[in-house]
Structure 1
């Protein structure tokens, strides 16, 4: 006899925004921490994808991923998805950052549009969860509670009186699916209250993960934050669709008030008509909100050091050393964070590493590019690395992926010299088209319409020498582009 069991209709949602300034200089606006491999060989974003793919079982009908991300990161996300097997995803692209409440509203609207009233499993893209079996069990419990109409928040048992987390106060009575009624929320308490919370079994950290029906979220935000709901719905109705890219209307989206899921809805629920529950997440979770957190989850040597890259330590203990570009050596240090990249070096007390965002704010105020961009910049066609720069010149190493092309463009303030060091280049310059092989070069005069393409099956690499009185990245006029950037300056 065959028993048909109705499967829950579940849609995983990954919130992929955030700049990760607390992990500067490795994490920057153009390449935030979710796209970094901080706790293994795969990135935090890829780990989130794999984690959600593996909650599937006969009781779940798992739909394709909905990923809400910044427009700037769309091709970076696609590249990382290609490295993950059997993933179907749609990308909801935000033209500007508006925090997590509008992001989840976009996902819920898309889910309702796609079909049934799906149960959304919502997670940030930048967390570490090391116990997949426990994670899947906890999510299954939360799905069953959410199926009955409740909003479910995943809670973490506190390990210390941390003032950087929001706290959930739960009831003492446990339900059939390991859930508890939520009594109250406290956002980032002072140290005295945090210490009191640790002594009680009633308080958990808010993980930022939620499980709820799409319709329940839409109703909750319509009632509790109607300005966000109405503005987001307007932007979504006026969306455009380009393959897997879903773009809400830019002008309408910019008018959406910026607010988090917690402030806009979740923290208002205990005193509202919306039932909110908590399921404990006992899966070795870490939000990687500081370099100290990266040290905590890292593999330690006998001196309690966590080292990445080309490092050499002597009389060093309890420290995190991250060498990204060159050899880093340490001697006679304890409890420090040492993070090296090609253009920046951080040395900090591990206990103060969460305050690195103060340095980032100062860099931005002084308009220094290191606060936003890496020396090596990812582009949809490949990447470029700024090797050297001086008065009236800049030297770049450029890699173009097989079959990829830069836009047809021109510069009004600089000329360029290109030297092929690897692969085959197809070059358009005004009305001429030429093919260059290794050790061959060409010159692109100021004001010329030009395009660089890679017609080969291997990566193309060139050295570009720019010369002119202004060498900023905004000196570009695009005439044809495969990546939807014609409106960019």
Structure 2
């Protein structure tokens, strides 16, 4: 292969099975679950070699656009485009839209490496060889998937039936198998000739679009029209909603790969996990002598084969085994580690109740393109927040109809504009923002600005913000 491979990173999923860490507002791909960087950033790192890869195309939903931009910027990773899905429509139309965009940008003969953004993959010689083998096969017209040689009878993955062998290049796919029950998984493992379906693909942009035209014409029409009518918004490309939402809600496996005669598979045995549940996180992490995995402030006594994770409180666990304890500042999950697949059902229960639905949507800490805020305390007619603003960033010029605010600077320097008057505040200084005033907060300094915001008023919802000017296009 001499032409650069174009990575396409799918980053729009909402991963409920890793609740309470993963939530709709900040799902698992943007969390650091297996290291110091997020799974999305680790995916960017895997495609960072400029001798092999062109800049990546990322497809995500509009709510995650600033997280994508921020985390890519932290790695100084160039992006060929960030495509914003206006509605959720599964992977078939997402990949078709990315292929249509890539065909315009790089040409129809571009080879695309389709990568979920929330997988844990170890890059080794086997991984690199598999990428090159898959790219060569895709350049010749095959639609290639990566099949992981199974190490145990896994019920959480789909399977691929094939005669593919490690190092032997691409082999035809005989059939795809749905996620099996345990007896079926054990039977397939004993029989041999089955691979885990990794959800990673290598495809030619033109070849994939041609197969869409034959096998999924509605998906292709929606994808092409949404790209043709897309609008540029800052550093993002908003796919046209009217076109995109006409696409069937179907996965690329069902729409294309299970029907095409061009499907091929590369058998691989590099370390891989889709991190689809807490037990998968446990399996892929370093363990102590008692087979425990811990993260955060944790103390254990006579605990075995367990996963204990905290991003806030100190957790002390005694006399238990096969347990998962996952604690955030506003929610704690406790259950059998071996039954971690049931977390998704728990999230559905929480989402169905008005009182607990917000626990599935947002964290106590919300991230914004300028920084973010954490909820500290709230009550009738008041709310306390901790705001953090990155150096050189500023909030929108805005006003509120129902609340006044007090700002107290804890760290850094704040430049505050109130009705056209600018005041500079340093640590331990404060300022009052009366109800209805037009105001803006800026961090002109070199370090992060941290302040405490006290809101008082008859209504304190986030939708009581009238934006007048905004450098992030949110007016």
- TM-score, scaled relative to structure 2: 0.95
**Which of 58, 73, 87 is 1:67 aligned to?**
58
Q: 1:418, 1:441 within 8 Å by CA — same for their partners in 2? A: yes
Stretch of structure 1 that moved more, 239-248 or 229-238: 239-248
Does structure 1 residue 300 correspond to structure 2 residue 325? no
Q: CA RMSD in A?
A: 1.8
**Aligned pairs for 1:18-97 within 5 A:** 18-54=13-49, 57=51, 60=52, 62-85=53-76, 87-97=78-88
Moved more, 7-16 or 243-252: 243-252
Separation (CA, whole Å) in 1 of partners of 2:3 and 2:178: 32
How far residue 187 of structure 1 moved from its aligned partner, in angstroms, is: 1.9
Residue 9 of structure 1 and its aligned partner are, at CA, apart by 3.6
* Structure 1 residues 182 and 391: alpha-carbon distance in aligned structure 2, compared to 1, 3 A threshold: same
Q: Do 2:100 and 2:223's aligned partners in 1 also have CA atoms closer than 8 Å? A: no
Question: Which is worse superposed, 98-107 or 293-302?
Answer: 98-107
Matches of 2:165 and 2:171 in 1, distance apart?
5
1:320-359 maps to which residues of 2 (within 5 A)? Answer: 320-359=307-346
- Partner residue in 1 for 2:275: 288
Deviations 1:426-462 (A, max 9, x none): 2222233222222221222222222111122211111
Q: Do the aligned partners of 1:144 and 1:177 also contact (CA within 8 Å) in 2?
A: no
Deviates further, 225-234 or 237-246: 237-246
1:58-137 mapped onto 2 (5 Å cutoff): 60=52, 62-85=53-76, 87-116=78-107, 117-137=109-129
Secondary structure in 1 matching 2:406: strand
Contact 2:167 2:267 in 1 (8 A): no
The offset of 1:174, in angstroms, is 5.8
Q: What displacement does 1:349 show?
A: 0.1
Taking a change above 3 Å as real, the CA distance of residues 21 and 280 of structure 1, as seen in their structure-2 partners, is same
In 2, distance between residues paired with 1:174 and 1:284?
A: 16
Residues 251-266 of structure 1 aligned to structure 2 (within 5 Å): 251-266=242-257
Determine whether 1:247 maps to 2:238. yes
Structure 2 distance, partners of 1:89, 1:345, is 39
Following TM superposition, by how much is the alpha carbon of 1:285 offset from its aligned partner in structure 2, in angstroms?
A: 0.5
Range 197-206 or range 158-167, more displaced: 158-167
CA distance in 2, matches of 1:417, 1:324: 28
Provide the C-alpha distance between the structure 2 equivalents of 1:175 and 1:420, rounded to a whole number of angstroms.
59
Counterpart-to-counterpart distance in 1, 2:5 and 2:98: 13
In the alignment, the residues of structure 2 paired with residue 370 and residue 454 of structure 1 have an alpha-carbon distance, to the nearest angstrom, of 31
Residues 406-428 of structure 1 deviation map (CA, whole Å, 9 limit, x = unaligned): 11122222221111111111222
Aligned residue-pair number: 472
- Alpha-carbon offset, residue 131 of structure 1: 3.7
Q: Give the match for residue 429 of structure 1.
A: 418
> 5+ unaligned residues in a row in structure 2: which ranges?
none
Q: Write out per-residue CA displacement over residues 313-361 of structure 1, whole angstroms, 9 at most, x where no aligned residue.
A: 1100100111211211110010101111111111110011111112222
Cα gap change, 1:429 to 1:251, in 2 (>3 Å): farther
Query: Normalised by the size of structure 1, how large is the TM-score?
Result: 0.93
Structure 2 CA distance for partners of 1:249 and 1:193, relative to 1, 3 Å: same
CA distance in 1 between partners of 2:466 and 2:3 (Å) = 50
